[in-house]
Amino acid sequence: MKYHPPYGSIDPNASYVDKDVPGAVRGSAIPAKAVEVPQREIVNVISKTGKEPSDGNQLASAIQSGKLNFSAIAGTANALTMILPEAPASWNDLVGTPLRGIIATTNTGACTLNVNGLGAKSIKIDNGSDPIAGDLKSGSVAVFVYDGTNVQITFSSSMLQARLNKGSTIVAFSATGVSSWTPPANVRSVFARVWGAGGGGGGNQSNGAGGGGGGGGYAEGHVAVTPGTPVNVTVGAGGTGGAGNTTYGDGAAGGTSSFGSAVSATGGGGGKGAPNNSQGVSGGGGNGVGGHIQTAGGQGSSGTFIGTYGIGGVGGSGASGGGPGGGSSTGFPAPGQTPGGGGAGAGSNYGGAVGAPGLVIIEYFAG
């Protein structure tokens, strides 16, 4: 709508002024267009939403209805068409504009949309992929937005329901070392749970009492991923136990586990070895890093004595549902249990037990 200034104004943006008799100011002369054009614009908006113009607060109601951007979506299964009440001059006029409608025919694959005869544009989901069969189901509500190149589906009730019905996919990584996972098409976020490995127990010399290894840490959180772009996944190895018998050694720390660079968990510390007739201190628990929740692993226990008999310390448990640490007795120290339990320390000439490996579990909804 163009602005129409008072009659006789040189400035096209001149303001209207009231008549002021004492100040000898003549009031502005109002051109007919200043009254007619706004009325016609308002009447046009009201009419295009299906309302009959009348006196009352109809403009707000017309805008609130959203019917200027709503249309039945017709055409064929994969060549959709819609007619907006107010015809746009070009696709450029529709950049960023929500286009809402009800699908008439279920799509069978990649498809296009033609609005008011402006020409067909490819329909994409927001990661650039084509819709698959059934994403736009007959009778479902869909919302599209033209991004300047393609028409993106910003909402489809049938797509949402299909993903909910399909359920989630869970993938566990238990083999130690570095591997790679590639997100499938349409997967842009995963929920990652990561446990660090348990530390190894300390060994002992003759009748010492080695300390137990610490449990691995834990972290979890939602991680953004890109379909088709690999993500490195690392599962930490359990710390080896310290040597025993004629000599003694410290247990090794457990390895760090991670999902990409976003979520990781450090391994538990190794238990200290003990010379004859002495006690080794335990290893501390690992820590979670990144994500939304972080939990520390359990600390092992130090070696102890029953009378003059050395007993290795118990390993610490893995954090947040991780495995328990290894026990210890007069027999061979027990290794920690998966994921991330610490190995027990040694007593009675044994070497310390190995810690349990870490674990990475991801869960996602496929498109």
Please write the tens of the pLDDT for every residue from 242-254: 998 888 999 999 9
Q: How far is the C-alpha of 91 from the C-alpha of 149, rounded, in Å? A: 9
Q: How far is the C-alpha of 347 from the C-alpha of 304, rounded, in Å? A: 9
- Residue 331 confidence class, pLDDT cut points 50, 70, 90: low
- How far CA 99 is from CA of 96, 145, 158, 217, 275, in Å, comes to 9, 6, 17, 48, 77
- Residue 347 confidence class, pLDDT cut points 50, 70, 90: confident
pLDDT of residue 32: 87
Element housing 360 (H / E) = strand 359-365
Tokens 């201190």 -> residue: 281
Main-chain dihedrals φ then ψ at residue 93, nearest 5 degrees: -70, -15
Q: How far is the C-alpha of 11 from the C-alpha of 37, rounded, in Å? A: 19
Tokens 């017309």 -> residue: 62
Provide the 3-class DSSP secondary structure of residue 177: strand
pTM: predicted TM-score of the whole model, two decimal places: 0.63
Instruction: Report which of residues 46 and 329 the model is more confident about.
Output: 46
218-224 and 189-195 beta bridge pairing: antiparallel
Main-chain dihedrals φ then ψ at residue 262, nearest 5 degrees: -90, -40
Cα 360 from chain centre: 16
- Residue 165 confidence class, pLDDT cut points 50, 70, 90: low
The amino acid at residue 59 is: L
Q: How far is the C-alpha of 90 from the C-alpha of 148, rounded, in Å? A: 11
pLDDT of residue 279: 92
Please state the rounded mean pLDDT for residues 161-176: 79
pLDDT of residue 288: 97
Instruction: Report which of residues 130 and 24 the model is more confident about.
Output: 130
- CA dihedral (231, 232, 238, 243) in degrees, to 10, reads 180
Answer whether 364's CB lies under 8 Å from 191's CB. Answer: yes
